[in-house]
Structure 1
């Protein structure tokens, strides 16, 4: 499809033509889906992404003006949507990693019996009972994900001191978790 034909179809689309939308969809959706699939490696996500992009085009059809190349416009939309999915997955991964820190302290049996909220409350209470420096180091490590070196630099202490306090904090938490396990 050449640029002039795209411009005519886009003009009809701006005026609400379903036929123009169908023409764009039939011509370009397979390309959007194929590109998304190459990036995401998931057919269902790629299909959803293509549908979402064309839904957005339909919803914003009146504001689609001065597009020099519909293909370039579509590529930018697709690329941005793929990046959004990657970023969302990254946030999910970071969240799961934080949960894994808690799960490392639990046995499967105990984690099934103790509500996560209660457990987090107990862990937070235990952390609050630790010496101030140990609290701070533990929170920077486990809640903010800083490395031992980053914590040492931020607090002006040696990495060995950070390592010592992390070890002591984990030992205290494991002891508490062990005591909780007694009741279950």
Structure 2
């Protein structure tokens, strides 16, 4: 599109731009509308949320929603009033979400806080890994291969059966037997 057309679109009224956007899916008209209102809306949002990134995201989301709703959009006021009201609603939702997040995040982060491992726990964990590795190593070759494909490669019984040219039931039998051996070994350590 030549620059003269862009300049002409900037001189078109809001109603005409909106009509071109809603009826013709005119991306150039949308761009002109975006250029006309983005900065005003951004400044308004920034004064409310005090974050450049959040203000930019709020305005960007507003324009994305406007474009997505262009086929069903009905503006009963001036476009400026409509956009500012839509932004106000987005800002209110932003603060509601922020309040919920601020209320719940400390509790969630406390629930997932991991205390440093003690020396005793580290020794027990290492012994456990050694016992598991020894038991896996002592398994018959086919059982060990099936078990490792299941656990380390996260393959399904069907995938393992195809890979090793054995039946799915045989795969399940090997996994059951391997788990039984591991449980038995760990109970008697």
1 or 2 for the larger relative contact order (CA 8 Å, sep ≥6)?
1
Taking the aligned partners of 1:13 and 1:102, their CA distance within structure 2 comes to 49
Taking the aligned partners of 1:19 and 1:94, their CA distance within structure 2 comes to 43
Identify the residue that residue 71 of structure 2 maps to in structure 1.
62
- CA offset at residue 97 of structure 1? 4.1
- Once the two structures are superposed, residues 70-127 of structure 1 have per-residue CA deviations (whole angstroms, 9 ceiling, x without a partner) of 1111011101111111111101111134358779xxxx8x63459xxxxxxxxxxxxx
TM-score (norm 2): 0.50
- Once the two structures are superposed, residues 128-177 of structure 1 have per-residue CA deviations (whole angstroms, 9 ceiling, x without a partner) of xxxxxxxxxxxxxxxxxxxxxxxxxxxxxxxxxxxxxxxxxxxxxxxxxx
1:134-145 equivalences under 5 Å are none
SS at the partner of 1:48? helix
Taking the aligned partners of 2:70 and 2:102, their CA distance within structure 1 comes to 35
Identify the residue that residue 87 of structure 1 maps to in structure 2.
96
TM-score (norm 1): 0.51
1:7-156 equivalences under 5 Å are 7-14=15-22, 15-99=24-108, 111-113=115-117
Shift of the 93–69 alpha-carbon distance from structure 1 to 2, 3 Å rule, reads same
Alpha-carbon contact 2:75-2:82 (below 8 Å) kept = no
- CA offset at residue 66 of structure 1? 4.2
Structure 2 segments unaligned to the other structure (5+ residues): 1-11, 119-189
- CA offset at residue 32 of structure 1? 1.0
Shift of the 102–30 alpha-carbon distance from structure 1 to 2, 3 Å rule, reads same
Taking the aligned partners of 1:111 and 1:39, their CA distance within structure 2 comes to 39
- CA offset at residue 67 of structure 1? 2.8
SS at the partner of 1:78? helix
Taking the aligned partners of 1:93 and 1:66, their CA distance within structure 2 comes to 35
